[in-house]
Structure 1
C-alpha cells in the first residue's frame, strides 16, 4: 500500500455569500468560457471523469501529495472543550500511533450529526484496536460543544477549525469560487447540496432520524460561507497517510467498513 509522509441559518440568501457590497462588472465572455473560469482545477478534473467520480478514489491516498500532507502537521486547530490551540501533529503519536481523522462539514450540518453518531458508536472498536478517534468540524469551540452536549459526542475527541485551514490544506471541496456572480453561486450550491453523491443520505434515513433527535440549528457557524464546505476521512499510522477520501457531496461519507479494513482489523474484546 502506498504511503505518504506527514513532516444563524442553514438557508442563507445568495447575497449573504458575497464578500463585496457591489457586484462585479458583467463579463462578455461566452458561457462556456465563464464556466471554465469559475470551476477550480480540482472540480474540472472531477467533471472530466464523466459519471464515475469513484475514479478519484482509485487508491487509498488518491489525490493527496506529500506536500499537502506535510503541511497538515503544522495546521493549528482548537480543542472543543477549552478553545486551546493545538497542532495536528500533536494529536497522536507520530511514530507508530494510529488515528482516524474525520473532517466534518460544520457543526450545524445534520448529516454531520449522523456521521458523528456513527463514529461515537464505533469508538469502542477504535479503542480496542489502539486507534485514536479525532473529529474536526468547521465552527468555533462553542458551536462544537453544542453538538457534543446534545448528540452527545465525546468532547475529548472533538476539535474546531473555524477558519477551515485543514480543509484548505487538504483541498477538500468548497462551494465558494473566485468569481462571485450568479453562475459561480449556482455551481457552488450544486456541488454542495445537489451533487448526485448527496443522494446517498436518503438510504440512511433511519440513522439520520436517530442522530438529529436533539438537533439544533444554533450549531451552524456564523460565517455563512462555511455551510458550503465539504468534509473527508483520513487514516494515519504515525506520519504515514494510509487512507484518504474527499466527500463528493453533503452526506457522502466514507464507508465505515473501509476505515475498519485499514486500521481496525482487531475485533472488539
Structure 2
C-alpha cells in the first residue's frame, strides 16, 4: 500500500458541510487525533449503514479526544444524508477529489462496478441497512470508492490507512479502537444473511 504523505495531503482543502467554508485537511488533526471516513457517495445505502456503524464509536472517540469526520466526494445528496442523521461527526466535501486520489481510493469502471455491487458482501450490508430503516439511491457518482484514514494528533503519523477493494469493504469497529489505543463499549451491527432482491440501493 502506498505510504501517505501527510504533509502534502494536509494541504488539500475540504468544504465544510455545516458552514461552507474551506479548511485545510491538516487543520482537522492539528489539535487532536482524527478518524476520517471517506464515503463513496452520500446517497449510497451501504455507505449510510457504514456511517451509522462508525458513529457508534463517536462517544468513545470524543471522550478520548478524537474527532470523527466524514468526507464525501461531491455535495450531491448531502442534504438528505444530514437529515437522515446517519453520521455523528462533522461532514466535509472533497470537491476536487484530491484526497481521494492521493489516498489511492480507486475509481471503478462501469463494467467492474456491477459485479462488485451485486456481490454477496454488498447484498448482506444492504439487507442489514434496510432492516435498520436505512434506504439509499443511485444519484451521483457511482464509480468512486472510499476508505478510511486515522491520523495521530499533530499529524505525527498515520495510525490506519484503509482503501476499499469492493464497495462493501469497511473497517471493523474494533480495528478503529485498536488503531487509536482506546477501548470502546459498542457492539458492531450484525450483517444478516441477505436475499437476492437487494444491491447497492
| Mapped contact 1:107–1:144 kept (Cα < 8 A) | yes
> Is residue 107 of structure 2 the alignment partner of residue 174 of structure 1?
yes
Structure with the largest fraction of helix: 1
C-alpha distance in structure 2 between counterparts of 1:65 and 1:106, whole Å: 25
Q: Which runs of 5+ in 2 are unaligned?
A: 186-201
Q: Deviations over 1:97-130 (max 9, x none)?
A: 2111111101111111101111222211211222
Match of 1:259 among 176, 182, 194: 176
> Is residue 3 of structure 2 the alignment partner of residue 65 of structure 1?
yes
Cα offset, 1:267, TM superposition: 4.4
> 2:22 aligns to what?
85
Deviates most, 119-128 or 191-200: 191-200
Q: Which runs of 5+ in 1 are unaligned?
A: 1-62, 176-187
Give the structure-2-normalised TM-score. Answer: 0.79
> Is residue 138 of structure 2 the alignment partner of residue 201 of structure 1?
no
Match of 1:144 among 75, 78, 90: 78
C-alpha distance in structure 2 between counterparts of 1:237 and 1:259, whole Å: 12
**Any residues of structure 2 matched to 1:2-81 within 5 Å, and which?**
63-67=1-5, 69-81=6-18
The higher radius of gyration belongs to: 1
> Is residue 149 of structure 2 the alignment partner of residue 228 of structure 1?
no
> Is residue 162 of structure 2 the alignment partner of residue 245 of structure 1?
yes
| Mapped contact 2:11–2:24 kept (Cα < 8 A) | yes
| Mapped contact 1:138–1:162 kept (Cα < 8 A) | yes
Cα offset, 1:206, TM superposition: 5.2
> 2:196 aligns to what?
none
> 2:41 aligns to what?
106
Give the structure-1-normalised TM-score. Answer: 0.61
Q: 1:209 to 1:82 in 2, by over 3 A?
A: same
C-alpha distance in structure 2 between counterparts of 1:232 and 1:197, whole Å: 19
C-alpha distance in structure 2 between counterparts of 1:82 and 1:198, whole Å: 38
Q: Deviations over 1:232-252 (max 9, x none)?
A: 111110311111110001121
Q: 1:76 to 1:194 in 2, by over 3 A?
A: same
Match of 2:137 among 217, 221, 225: 217
Q: SS in structure 1 opposite 2:171? A: coil
C-alpha distance in structure 2 between counterparts of 1:76 and 1:260, whole Å: 27
C-alpha distance in structure 2 between counterparts of 1:197 and 1:205, whole Å: 10
Alignment length (residue pairs): 183
Q: 1:124 to 1:193 in 2, by over 3 A?
A: farther
> 1:178 aligns to what?
none
What CA RMSD, in Å, does the superposition of the two structures yield over aligned residues? 2.5
| Mapped contact 1:197–1:248 kept (Cα < 8 A) | no
| Mapped contact 2:4–2:103 kept (Cα < 8 A) | no
C-alpha distance in structure 1 between counterparts of 2:149 and 2:13, whole Å: 17
C-alpha distance in structure 1 between counterparts of 2:54 and 2:117, whole Å: 24
Q: SS in structure 2 opposite 1:242? A: strand
